[in-house]
Amino acid sequence: MEQMDQISYFIITATAGHDTTSATISGGMKALLEHPDQLAKLRDNPSLAKQAAREMIRWTSPVRHMMRTTTKDIVLRGKTRKAGDVETVGRVFREDGIGLRDDYKISGPELETMCDLARAVPGVLGERMLGGGDKGAAGALVLTDSVEALETAVRTGYPRSHPDYADAFAVHVCRVVDGITTLVEKL
């Protein structure tokens, strides 16, 4: 295995378990606190824990890249950042992916096809590869009204571009969640 593939696998392994687990736990706890009837149901019947864990994963969409938007206008490093400026986040997401592709050569034609398909859909703010090596994932930051168009573009365009992988890809839609900002209740 080439060194860059080894590094890519390490990064995926080192971050994947932590990010998804912490996002699921924090998002799941936030959801339970916001829905006390569900928390009571789980407390009263611990046998629902496995089902609750699956629902927390579905509800929180824990697979996401680490990026943030501001909740109020700020000046950071001499640049004004507007509250909720997802367009800038999308642009940086895209530029970072292009840098990984061009500077570090850790993408490949299959992942770049996903990015090319996404880039052509209006309402996609940014796209990039998320994992390198011979396995990987591509992600996109997409406006809600454009999600269906992106799904259609990928589901039809990818098999045409890579027929050998026509049955070896998946499209997952994750919704944006606020996450924990303050904990207002104690269990």
pLDDT range class, residue 91, cuts 50, 70, 90: confident
The residues that bridge with 141 in the sheet, in sequence order, are 126
Does one domain contain both 28 and 94?
Answer: no
- Does 81 share its domain with 160? yes
Residue with tokens 């509250």: 83
Q: What is the pLDDT of residues 105-144, one digit of tens each?
A: 878 888 889 999 999 999 999 998 876 555 678 888 898 8
Q: Do 34 and 93 fall within a single domain?
A: no
Q: Where does the pLDDT of residue 187 fall: very low under 50, low under 70, confident under 90, or very high at 90 and above?
A: very low
Work out whether strand 138-142 and strand 124-129 pair parallel, antiparallel, or are unpaired: antiparallel
The answer to the question of residue 69 being in a domain is no
Say yes or no: 115 and 50 in one domain.
no
Q: Tell me the pLDDT tens digit for each residue of 141-154.
A: 898 899 999 999 99
Same domain, 127 and 81: yes
Q: Are residues 111 and 78 in the same domain?
A: yes
Q: Which domain holds residue 144?
A: 74-165
pLDDT attached to residue 75? 80
> What is the tally of structural domains in the chain?
2
Q: Under a CB-based contact definition with an 8 Å cutoff, are residues 68 and 176 in contact?
A: no
The answer to whether residue 173 is domain-embedded is no
Q: Confirm whether 182 is domain-assigned.
A: no
Examine the pLDDT at 103 and tell me if it is beyond 80.
yes
For the stretch 32-85, pLDDT in tens is: 998 899 899 999 999 998 888 888 876 666 555 445 566 778 787 787 878 878
Is residue 177 a part of any domain in this protein?
no
- Of the residues 60, 91, 107, the one at which a domain ends: 60
Domain boundary among 27, 60, 93: 60
Q: Within a domain: residue 7? A: yes
Q: Across residues 91-99, what is the average pLDDT?
A: 86
- Asked if residue 126 lies in contact with residue 92, where contact means CB atoms within 8 angstroms, the answer is yes
Confidence of residue 26 (pLDDT cuts 50, 70, 90): confident
- Report yes or no on 90 lying in a domain: yes
86, 154: one domain: yes
Query: Distance (Å, rounded) from C-alpha 163 to C-alpha 134?
Result: 17
Give the domain CATH number at 96: 3.30.70.890
> What is the token pair recorded at 28?
């799941």
Q: Is residue 115 part of a domain?
A: yes
User: Do both 28 and 86 map to the same domain?
Assistant: no
Together in a domain, 86 and 146: yes
DSSP result, the chain:
--HHHHHHHHHHHHHHHHHHHHHHHHHHHHHHHH-HHHHHHHHH-GGGHHHHHHHHHHHH-----S----SS-EEETTEEE-TT-HHHHHHHHHHHHHHHHHHH----HHHHHHHHHHHTSTTEEEEEE---TTS--EEEEE-GGGHHHHHHHHHHHHHHH-GGGTTS------------S------
Does 102 lie in the same domain as 43? no
